[in-house]
Structure 1
Amino acid sequence: MTFRFPALRHIACAAALATCGGAFAQTQTLTPQQQRFHEIYKELVEINTTHSVGSTTQAAQAMQAVLLKAGFSKDEMQIIEPFPRKGNLVLRWKGSGAKQQKQPMLLMAHIDVVEAKREDWKTDPFKLQESDGYFTARGSIDDKAMASSFVSVLAQLKQEGFQPTRDIIMALTADEERGDVESNGAMWLLKNKPELLKAEFGINEGGGGELRDGKPNLHRVQIAEKLYTTYEFELRDVGGHSSLPTATNPIYGMSEALARLGAYRFPVMLADVTKTYFSRTAPLMSGQLAEDMRAVGNGSTDAAVIERLSKTPLYNAQLRTTCTATMVNAGHAENALPQSAKAVVNCRMLPFDDPDNVEKQLKQVITNNGANDKITMRQFAKPTRSPVSPLQGEMFSTIETLTKEMWPGVPVIPFMSTGATDSRFARNAGIPMYGVSGLFFDPADLRTHGLDERVEIPRLYDSREFILKLVKKLAS
């Protein structure tokens, strides 16, 4: 698919952006609102918000300026910067005050991005590239697509004179990519200023649609996420001259331990979110895969079924807790026996698993049930447990209605994210969160956190339209 955009007159799919896929049957210029969204998106993407040298404060100020221009007042917004360069923008748009006014809704998106080295990328990661049907830049997906959509949608609704029946809270936050750190914006706000974000429910990243053969196939909604924690294992020895090898070489001992971990599988644990995911996905599949998914959806843990599904990393991660080695470091000189070998192991625990039990199993595997008790274990941070958001209610039913309207025949699939988002902090604060964006991807080309991060241009405009309808409907 190849199409290029002139400077100010971008081409989009006319009849149905959601289904145009690889080729455009018709074309039209962008609407004024789409053009304005493009300007907001470009401005936000091109502000460097990495931890090393960037500033989310600058990004927050830029988005505040956009909203001021749209008609919001300074009294409706505040930039909160508890740490240098780690600013957060919080907006509260008051509801109508009607007799039966609904509780607030929260729109949450982080505006920090992961690091990106210019020498590794084909183009400058902090300059929005528009070519071959894609927007390419760091943050083009994660999470500036959603953040700029929120800003664009609220600006449009304000200019159109829309009056929400409930308060709309928007929080653009810092340091999500760094996890449970003190400067994590969402975590800090919910801990120190919880009244600012208190809401009946919220929308955040974590979901998204999947394309098959270039067409929308399913629309995932994140209602839960796995717990995140990391361990460091170390094995030490006295070392010595490399010409006199010993049987206590830490590299060999740690290698054996990691080999055991690589072969180990944590027990399968099924919950409602897991069974619902497989049962609703089964009709989209065929053959043995469809049968296996239906079986798990009905609660089966048959060994043959689990074995077949576990061969696919995504399905394996839905079925069980996972722990995997991500970093190793050993030795100090090429001609010396190593004095230590270290390995970092990252775990993603099921939200309904027992973290203490997971740690116990992990230690048993690494130390070979205590046979190598010289391997020490250190945990970097305790996992943050969070509840599952309910499938029933206004939020989920609205997502299903709009999905049916925009992508007929595409099912809504509740999903447990294998990664981590700031939704876990909000859920722990009593706010049911839903990861949903209306943004569809080809699973084979998902470059979030990777080189040349990109998103299909028509899909992004379609996502923005979905978010507009979702916010308007929930606040009407």
Structure 2
Amino acid sequence: MSIARYFVLAFIAFVTAAAAAQALTPHEQLTRDIYKELVEIRTVHPDGDNTAAARAMAKRLIDAGFDPKDVEVIEPHPLKGNVVARLRGTGELKPLLLLAHLDVVEAKKEDWSDGLDPFKLTERDGYFYGRGVIDDKAMAAIFIANLAKAKREGWKPKRDIIVALTADEETGGHNGVAWLLKNRPELIAAEVALNEGGGGQYRRGKPFVLNVQVSEKMYLTFDFEVTHAGGHSSTPGRENAIYELAAALDRLSRFDLPARPNMMMRRMAAKLVDVETGDLAKAFGAVAEGRATDDDYKVISRVPRYNAQLRTTCVATRIEGGHGDNALPQRAKAAVNCRLLPGEDPEFVRSELQRVAGDKVTVTPRGSARKSDPSDPESPWIQTIARISAETWPTATVVPVMSAGATDGSRLRNAGYAVYGVSGIFTELGENRLHGKDERVGVRSFFDATGFLDRLVRALGSGT
């Protein structure tokens, strides 16, 4: 055999092996197809079509053999549809609810990198890109694909498995979970629910933490507003609504509300002592033992994801002002979004923000904060999560956490559900593209999560 022929055959063998390694199983292909379908249905508020996404997922389940009577698309408002479906079990145990939301935050193609369209699923360099590929269409697609597989296989759990994919979790006035709890509670009545809010982290490609949301912070936005009489821009004075608002926001950027490590933070710190290293591990040890100092808090606060567990945070997210290029501004306004620790007094937060903003700025809350009690971080449910996680990722430590972001889990907790936020989706430590440019998830991570959630749901559904 000639050397040239040898290298040609070797190259062909290499390409064939690589292609075989990347080939998807039939279930993985189905999951990817559902994922693509969901990502490519634009479901942003106010003009995205959640109902189209709900109907598409209903069709997937009916095609898999679900009785149409067990699959219901509910549209309380145009474009704001939800789908609720039930995989019937023996009824020996109370139902399990699988919750995910269909809506996503807005994204514009011109804001994303070349070759990426937020409403097209793109696979590139080992990642899936698109709006909602993590938040929250990954879990939605996985739940539908796994239930379709379970139905085709004839699986009969000890409890009914209910899946609810809902609208307006991100924004908008027609929240699907709130509507269902008020108007059709029997459709989603369950003993325990799995939801978003918890994910895993890789450290240099190796799974080291799987966060499970058992609690969450309260969402509350405050308006900072300055008003003046205005006037002609050709004769400006020292007073200016925009300058005064900007000065207030500058002061806010250097301000921290007090650290208040609650029981959930101390439990989390006890787990992270063995995960983190150096000064951070020492600081977590001090928090876990109730002896933390200001210096310990400063060490923890350097890491944004940990700082958010330690205190109520407030940050400017939107700004507007003025009414003409040639006019002094009569009004300048900013939105300051706060995530309050459970038990934090909203009036205390408002008064602190007012003190920082100064007497020329009016600070006003929008609405009220939604409180909820945490789920039990040591329940049999979380023990099952830890067991399935250990079987899937032996190097990952399961850590019960308080989610810094708001989810619909709080609505369910307030209705008496045990709720655990666990997606099984891992991202590299320090990466956070949710709601941002080039949202992405690793292909391997997505399919690992598919298998993990299948095993978890089957364990919980079987009572094991």
Q: Decide whether aligned partners of structure 1 residues 253 and 446 sit closer, same or farther in structure 2, where only a CA change above 3 A counts.
A: closer
Q: 2:204 aligns with which of 183, 204, 213?
A: 213
Q: 1:192 aligns with which of 175, 183, 188?
A: 183
Aligned to 1:436: 422
Structure 1: 5+ residue stretches without partners:
1-13, 15-23
Moved over 6 A (4+): none
Measure, in 2, the Cα distance between the counterparts of 1:440 and 1:456.
8
Q: Decide whether aligned partners of structure 1 residues 226 and 68 sit closer, same or farther in structure 2, where only a CA change above 3 A counts.
A: same
Q: CA deviation at 1:243?
A: 4.3
Measure, in 1, the Cα distance between the counterparts of 2:142 and 2:439.
18
Q: Does 1:475 align with 2:461?
A: yes
Measure, in 1, the Cα distance between the counterparts of 2:35 and 2:316.
36
Aligned to 2:379: 393
Q: Does 1:81 align with 2:72?
A: no
Q: 1:466 aligns with which of 447, 452, 462?
A: 452
Name whichever of 376-385 and 224-233 sits farther off.
Answer: 376-385
Superposed CA deviations along residues 216-245 of structure 1, whole A, max 9, x for unmatched, are 111100111111111112111122234443
Q: 1:384 aligns with which of 361, 370, 383?
A: 370
Q: CA deviation at 1:402?
A: 0.7
Measure, in 2, the Cα distance between the counterparts of 1:348 and 1:298.
25
Q: 1:224 aligns with which of 197, 215, 223?
A: 215
Give the TM-score, by structure 1 length.
Answer: 0.89
Superposed CA deviations along residues 287-308 of structure 1, whole A, max 9, x for unmatched, are 1111011111212330111122
Q: 2:260 aligns with which of 269, 290, 298?
A: 269
Three-state SS of the structure 2 residue aligned to 1:445 is: coil
| Equivalences for residues 295-314 of structure 1 within 5 A | 295-314=286-305
Three-state SS of the structure 2 residue aligned to 1:104 is: strand
Q: CA deviation at 1:25?
A: 13
Aligned to 1:90: 84
Maintained 8 Å contact 1:225/1:420: yes
Letter in 2 for 1:105: L
Three-state SS of the structure 1 residue aligned to 2:374 is: coil
Q: 2:437 aligns with which of 445, 451, 461?
A: 451
Maintained 8 Å contact 1:49/1:112: yes
| Equivalences for residues 62-77 of structure 1 within 5 A | 62-77=56-71
Measure, in 1, the Cα distance between the counterparts of 2:217 and 2:428.
23
Three-state SS of the structure 1 residue aligned to 2:373 is: coil
Superposed CA deviations along residues 336-392 of structure 1, whole A, max 9, x for unmatched, are 33222212111110012122222222223223xxxx2x4323322211111111112
Aligned to 1:130: 123
Overall identity of the aligned pairs, in %: 48
Letter in 2 for 1:316: N
Superposed CA deviations along residues 169-210 of structure 1, whole A, max 9, x for unmatched, are 1100011110xx431111211122222222111001111100
Q: Decide whether aligned partners of structure 1 residues 328 and 39 sit closer, same or farther in structure 2, where only a CA change above 3 A counts.
A: closer
Q: CA deviation at 1:323?
A: 1.3
Measure, in 1, the Cα distance between the counterparts of 2:262 and 2:248.
31
Aligned to 2:27: 33
Q: Does 1:358 align with 2:349?
A: yes
Three-state SS of the structure 1 residue aligned to 2:174 is: coil
Three-state SS of the structure 1 residue aligned to 2:396 is: coil
Maintained 8 Å contact 1:77/1:91: yes
Three-state SS of the structure 2 residue aligned to 1:433 is: strand
Name whichever of 306-315 and 462-471 sits farther off.
Answer: 306-315
Q: 1:111 aligns with which of 80, 94, 102?
A: 102
Give the TM-score, by structure 2 length.
Answer: 0.91
Aligned to 2:319: 328
Letter in 1 for 2:126: G
Aligned to 1:49: 43
Measure, in 2, the Cα distance between the counterparts of 1:25 and 1:153.
25
Maintained 8 Å contact 1:439/1:463: yes
Q: CA deviation at 1:42?
A: 1.6
Aligned to 1:258: 249
Q: 1:201 aligns with which of 181, 187, 192?
A: 192
Three-state SS of the structure 2 residue aligned to 1:176 is: coil
Superposed CA deviations along residues 398-431 of structure 1, whole A, max 9, x for unmatched, are 1100111111131101111111111111111111
Measure, in 2, the Cα distance between the counterparts of 1:252 and 1:30.
57
Q: How many residues align?
A: 444
Q: Decide whether aligned partners of structure 1 residues 242 and 216 sit closer, same or farther in structure 2, where only a CA change above 3 A counts.
A: same
Q: CA deviation at 1:26?
A: 8.8
Measure, in 2, the Cα distance between the counterparts of 1:253 and 1:103.
57
Measure, in 2, the Cα distance between the counterparts of 1:87 and 1:329.
33
Measure, in 2, the Cα distance between the counterparts of 1:279 and 1:26.
43
Three-state SS of the structure 2 residue aligned to 1:450 is: coil
